[in-house]
């Protein structure tokens, strides 16, 4: 076989791994074949990975799995799809070898398949129909990580929400995570090895081959050398939690993690547990960019802490603005932030929102240097404080999806940093029943709109929300879940980036000349 042929096969394999399986239609061949516009087609396969939810014996975790309806019409090869075929299963991951944490265990038996020895043949949770969510729950410290795959009509926009409630102890409160797809590169501004914190980076491998991962930490003075953070082995279909404080001898209040896979792919998320401020998941931030949006700061936030990192060769000077319900303002005393190259910078913004929910907008004040950023947001006072994290995120794009909502504990924040935008918000049926409902919202340019989203008629159980653009400028979003736990204002925030339910597939023509070069 010629070298060129091998290169073509390798390129096609890499594309399928990143975007899901999507066939390329053959077009006319010959020198006069005209190029055609790439088609936007539904993905045919999706993967999500959920890390082990908690190390607390008092933890109760709910899972909600959902695929929006109407994600198909034709498959990538042009054939008709009935909109119902396909599968979406979550199965427990194996136990990864780690000296710094624990994973694996046994899920609560719900009649749908626990995490015992039959885990490979009996899924923990199975989604059968687009447009109708399913849910299940686990309890205790031994709940495992989950590895999920969806195909056919259930692949486009498949979303799994993991929400954990811990009543007492380190990390008590509410923590939530939209389970993520595997990748090879992640940034986590906002991690810490402070004495009050127990931060674990969870690495989950969905593939049949082992993954090798490096975790580079950056503090306020630059890169932190750590031999044990290099070459971390993550076995096939397994998950490994690594305690960050074991990777360095010195405590750091603010860190940025850069997680890269030397080989294979992983999903990554940081579990944060604080002795006094509760805990939550810190998801990966959006890719480095010159302008960032961090949406959904609660109106009653008592403290907002910004962490930013410039991964390139140049320093970044950022202008800080807050998009409120009435317009964009500059926080008093915090109009700019200087971020040195390769170093983590932070700023305490205090009670930034003052009774009016908002979103932080970071833009360059000089030059155009890409950065990553995240917020640590605190609600409550004294012994009754709780923390959540808001990373910079992509806009809702063609459609954003978030699951695990309930009738009385959900708040939706929508931000239009530029031109005014209108979106359609659809509430799915519940896991136990209900009828879908839809409502449109218009977000004025430079503002944040905070609303209680629509609730399906006759709701039973948890439901999902999808947000789709209707007209106007780009809109960014976040969803907050909140509840009271013995006086603690427990909450968690998940951002709403595009759910990547479609993939761009170019029209390709046959050209056998490439095999002769």
8 Å CB contact between 469 and 396: yes
Average pLDDT for 484-489: 90
8 Å CB contact between 343 and 219: yes
pLDDT per residue over 420-434, tens digit each? 999 999 999 999 999
Q: Report d(CA 22, CA 504) in Å as an integer.
A: 9
Please state the φ and ψ torsions of residue 245, each to the nearest 5 degrees.
Answer: -65, -15
Q: Report d(CA 384, CA 173) in Å as an integer.
A: 10
**Six-digit token pair at 237?**
């279909």
> Has residue 16 got a pLDDT over 60?
no
8 Å CB contact between 346 and 377: no
pLDDT at position 502, please?
Answer: 83
pLDDT at position 507, please?
Answer: 64
pLDDT per residue over 360-378, tens digit each? 999 999 889 999 999 999 9
Residue 211's CB is within 10 A of a number of other CB atoms, namely: 25
Chain CA centroid to CA 356, Å: 25
Residue 111's CB is within 10 A of a number of other CB atoms, namely: 6
8 Å CB contact between 50 and 162: yes
> Has residue 26 got a pLDDT over 80?
no
pLDDT per residue over 437-485, tens digit each? 999 999 999 999 999 999 999 999 999 999 999 999 999 999 999 998 8
pLDDT per residue over 220-264, tens digit each? 999 999 989 999 999 999 999 999 999 998 999 999 999 999 999
Which is it for strands 301-309 and 316-323: parallel, antiparallel or unpaired? unpaired
pLDDT per residue over 100-131, tens digit each? 333 333 333 332 333 333 334 589 999 999 99
Average pLDDT for 200-204: 97
- Which residues contact residue 223 at a Cβ distance below 8 angstroms, ignoring those fewer than 6 apart? 216, 217, 342
pLDDT at position 333, please?
Answer: 87
8 Å CB contact between 490 and 174: yes
pLDDT at position 98, please?
Answer: 36
pLDDT at position 76, please?
Answer: 37
8 Å CB contact between 354 and 401: no
Rounded percentage of the chain residues whose pLDDT exceeds 70 = 83
Confidence of residue 389 (pLDDT cuts 50, 70, 90): very high
The helix (H) or strand (E) run that includes residue 495 is strand 488-495
pLDDT per residue over 283-303, tens digit each? 999 999 999 999 999 999 999
Q: Report d(CA 93, CA 148) in Å as an integer.
A: 9
* pTM for the structure as a whole: 0.86
8 Å CB contact between 323 and 406: no
Q: Report d(CA 483, CA 237) in Å as an integer.
A: 34
Q: Using CA of residue 124, residue 62, residue 210, residue 264, what is the dihedral sign?
A: positive
pLDDT at position 3, please?
Answer: 37
Q: Whole-angstrom distance between the N-terminal and C-terminal Cα of the chain?
A: 13
Which is it for strands 508-509 and 26-27: parallel, antiparallel or unpaired? parallel
On average, the pLDDT of the chain sits at: 86
Q: Which residue has the higher pLDDT, 391 or 76?
A: 391
**Six-digit token pair at 180?**
């993520």
pLDDT per residue over 38-47, tens digit each? 677 888 999 9
pLDDT per residue over 138-194, tens digit each? 999 989 999 999 999 999 999 999 999 999 888 899 999 999 999 999 999 999 999
DSSP 175-244: EEEE-B--BSEEEEEEE---TTEEEEEEEE--SSS-EEEEEEEEETTEEE--GGGSSEEE-TTEEEEEEG
Confidence of residue 510 (pLDDT cuts 50, 70, 90): low
pLDDT at position 39, please?
Answer: 74
pLDDT per residue over 345-360, tens digit each? 999 999 999 899 999 9
> Has residue 493 got a pLDDT over 80?
yes
């Amino acid at each position: 076989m010629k070298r060129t042929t091998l290169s073509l096969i390798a390129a096609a394999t890499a594309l399928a791994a990143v975007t899901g399986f999507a066939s390329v239609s053959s077009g006319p061949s010959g020198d006069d074949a005209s190029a055609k516009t790439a088609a936007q087609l539904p993905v045919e396969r999706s993967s999500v990975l959920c890390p082990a939810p908690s190390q607390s014996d008092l933890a109760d975790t709910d899972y909600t799995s959902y695929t929006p309806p109407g994600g198909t019409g034709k498959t990538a090869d042009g054939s008709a799809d009935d909109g119902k075929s396909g599968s979406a299963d979550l199965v427990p991951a194996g136990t990864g070898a780690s000296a710094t944490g624990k994973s694996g265990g046994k899920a609560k038996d719900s009649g749908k398949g626990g995490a015992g020895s039959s885990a490979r043949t009996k899924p923990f949770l199975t989604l059968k129909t687009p447009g109708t969510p399913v849910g299940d729950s686990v309890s205790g410290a031994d709940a495992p990580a989950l590895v999920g795959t969806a195909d056919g009509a259930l692949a486009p926009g498949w979303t799994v929400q993991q929400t954990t409630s811990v009543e007492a102890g380190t990390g008590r409160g509410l923590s939530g995570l939209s389970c993520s797809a595997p990748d090879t590169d992640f940034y986590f501004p906002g991690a810490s090895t402070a004495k009050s914190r127990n931060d674990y980076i969870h690495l989950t491998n969905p593939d049949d081959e082992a993954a090798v991962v490096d975790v580079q930490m950056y503090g306020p003075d630059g890169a932190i050398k750590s031999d044990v953070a290099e070459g971390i082995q993550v076995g096939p279909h397994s998950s490994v939690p690594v305690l960050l404080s074991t990777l360095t001898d010195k405590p750091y209040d603010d860190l940025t993690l850069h997680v890269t896979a030397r080989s294979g792919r992983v999903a990554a998320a940081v579990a944060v547990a604080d002795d006094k401020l509760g805990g939550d998941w810190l998801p990966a931030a959006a890719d480095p960019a010159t302008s960032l949006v961090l949406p959904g700061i609660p109106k009653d936030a008592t403290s907002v802490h910004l962490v930013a990192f410039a991964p390139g060769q140049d320093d970044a000077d950022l202008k800080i603005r807050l998009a409120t319900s009435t317009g964009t303002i500059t926080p008093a005393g915090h109009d700019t932030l200087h971020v040195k190259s390769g170093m983590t910078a932070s700023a305490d913004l205090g009670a930034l929102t003052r009774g009016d929910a908002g979103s932080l907008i970071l833009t360059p004040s000089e030059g155009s240097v890409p950065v990553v950023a995240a917020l640590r947001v605190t609600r409550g006072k004294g012994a009754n404080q709780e923390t959540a994290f808001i990373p910079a995120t992509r806009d809702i794009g063609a459609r954003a999806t978030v699951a695990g909502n309930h009738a009385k504990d959900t708040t939706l924040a929508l931000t239009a940093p530029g031109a005014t935008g209108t979106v359609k918000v659809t509430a799915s049926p519940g896991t136990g029943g209900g009828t879908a409902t839809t409502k449109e919202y218009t977000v004025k340019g430079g503002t944040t709109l905070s609303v209680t989203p629509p609730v399906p008629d006759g709701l039973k159980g948890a439901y999902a929300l999808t947000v789709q653009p209707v007209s106007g400028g780009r809109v960014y979003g976040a969803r907050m879940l909140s509840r009271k736990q013995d006086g603690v204002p427990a909450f968690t925030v998940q951002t709403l980036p595009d759910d990547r339910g479609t993939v761009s597939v170019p029209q390709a023509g046959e050209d056998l000349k490439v095999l002769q070069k």
